[in-house]
Amino acid sequence: MSNQLFDAYFTSAPMRAVFSDRGRLQSMLDFEAALARAEAAVGLIPEAAVAPIAEACVAERFDVAALAQAIATAGNSAIPLVKALGQRIAAVDADAERYLHLGATSQDAMDSGLVLQLRAAVALFESELAQLAEDLAVQAERHAGTPLAGRTWLQHATPVTLGMKLAGLLGAFTRQRRRLAELKPRLLVLQFGGAAGTLAALGEQALPVSEVLARELDLGLPEQPWHTQRDRLAEFAGWLGLLAGTLGKLGRDLSLLMQTDVGEVFEPLAPGKGGSSTMPHKRNPVGAAVLIGAATRAPGLVATMLAAMPQEHERSLGLWHAEWETLPELCCLLSGALQQARLLLPGLEVDAARMRENLDLTQGLVLAEAVSIALARRLGRERAHHLVEQCCRQAIAEGCHLRAALGADPEVSAELSAAELERLLDPSHYLGLAQRWVARAVAEHRATHC
C-alpha cells in the first residue's frame, strides 16, 4: 500500500506506478478490451461492439474511491469494475454492452491484469539489475588488486581484495538475472478459464478466442487455465526473495565496512544523507539499511505466497485474496532496494590506506598461514604448524610483530631467510586467485544478455 512518508525511501517511483490503483485498473481494462477484440476476430461478437468497449477502457474515467467501497462487498476488484465499465459502454452503445466480459470470470480479469503488471515489473527489474551488475563490474575491476582483511566469523582471516568481494556479489546478481530470464516464459502467461476453468460458455470458440486473446495481450498461452495452480506466482515470489537476500548481503557487508572501527568503504556522500538528529558527526549507512530491511521483510512475504498455494478446488476462498497485496508489495520493496543499491555503487568511497592499516592490526598474524605452508614444504605440515603456532603465541604475548617472533626462532630462521619472511608477510603477495575471480565474474556478467 502506498505510503507517502516512506515510499521514496523503500520503493521506486516507476514500480509504484505499475502497482498503483491506476495501474491495477488499467491492466484489467486492457484485458477486457483485448477480450472484445479477440471475440470479434473469431466472429463471436459483432465487430461494431469492439470500439465502444475499447474506448471505455481508460482507468482515469473511473472513480477509484467508489470502486474501493464496492470491493468491500463484492469481494474482488473485477466485479464492480466490470459493472461500472458496462454502464459507461451502455451510455454510448447499449448493444455493445451485451458483449462485455463474455465468457470470462472475475479472476480472469484480475490474474491476467496482474500478469500484465508483472510484465512491466519484470522489465524494470531487468533494466535495474543489468545496470547494477555493470556498476559492480566496474568497481570490481577497479579494486581487483586492492587488499583488505578477509573476515571469517567476524574475525580477521587471510587477505582478500575488495574487487573479489564485489565479484562475489556480481556473480550472484548474474545468476539472478539468468533465473529471471528462465522463469519469464512460465510467469507471463494468460489466465482465461471462465467460471470453473472449462470456458464452456464459449463453446467451440473457446480455444480460438484464447489463442487470439493471448496474442492481443502479447502473453504466452498456457496448456490450461491456472486459477488455483499458483506455482507461477510463487516461483516469481521466490525469485524476489532470492534477490532480496543478495541485496541484503551487499547492504550487510557495506554497513560492516562503514563501522567507525573499520572505516574501509563508505556510501557516497550527499547533502543531508546519513546524518543524526542529535550527533553532527554521524555518517550512517542509510542506503544499506534499505537493503537489509528488504532482506528482512521479504521472507515473510514469500512465505505468504507459498502458504497461499494449496487453493481449494477450481476457485479459492481467501488464499487467492492473500496474494493480492503481497506480490505487489514484494515487487515494490525490491524495487526500492535496487534503487538504493544503484545509488551506492558508482560513488563508493574506498579507503585503501585504512584497509592496509587494518591488515596490520594483528602485526602479521593474518599471514601465519602463508608462513606455515612455506615451512610445511620443508619440515612437514605438523611440525610447521606447531612452530608457527608457537611464534604466534609469542608475538601476542610480547606485543611484537610476527616477523620478529619468527626471525628469533632458530628452527624457522634456518629454513626461511629474512627476505623470504618479509615476502610471506606481505598481504599483496598472498591474494591467491582473487584477481582471477574478478575477471571470471566480469566475463560472465558481460556474456549475460537478458
Residues carrying an active site annotation = 276, 315
CA 163 to chain centre: 21
At 242, which amino acid appears? L
Phi, psi for 265 (deg, rounded to 5):
-135, 145
| C-alpha to C-alpha distance for 236 and 309, rounded to whole angstroms | 13
- Grid coordinates representing 13? 517511483
Half-sphere exposure of 333 (CA within 13 A, CB side): 29
What would the 3-class secondary structure string for the chain be? Answer: CCCCCCHHHHCCHHHHHHCCHHHHHHHHHHHHHHHHHHHHHCCCCCHHHHHHHHHHCCHHHCCHHHHHHHHHHHCCCHHHHHHHHHHHHHHHCHHHHCCCCCCCCHHHHHHHHHHHHHHHHHHHHHHHHHHHHHHHHHHHHHCCCCEEEEEECCEEEEEEEHHHHHHHHHHHHHHHHHHHHHHHHHHCECCCCCCCCCCHHHHHHHHHHHHHHHHHHCCECCCCCCCCCCHHHHHHHHHHHHHHHHHHHHHHHHHHHHCCCCCCEECCCCCCCCCCCCCCCCCCCHHHHHHHHHHHHHHHHHHHHHHCCCCCCCCCCCHHHHHHHHHHHHHHHHHHHHHHHHHHCCCCEECHHHHHHHHCCCCCHHHHHHHHHHHHHHHCHHHHHHHHHHHHHHHHHHCCCHHHHHHHCHHHHCCCCHHHHHHHCCHHHCCCCHHHHHHHHHHHHHCCCC
Residues with Cβ within 8 Å of residue 241, at least 6 apart in sequence: 298, 299, 301, 302, 330
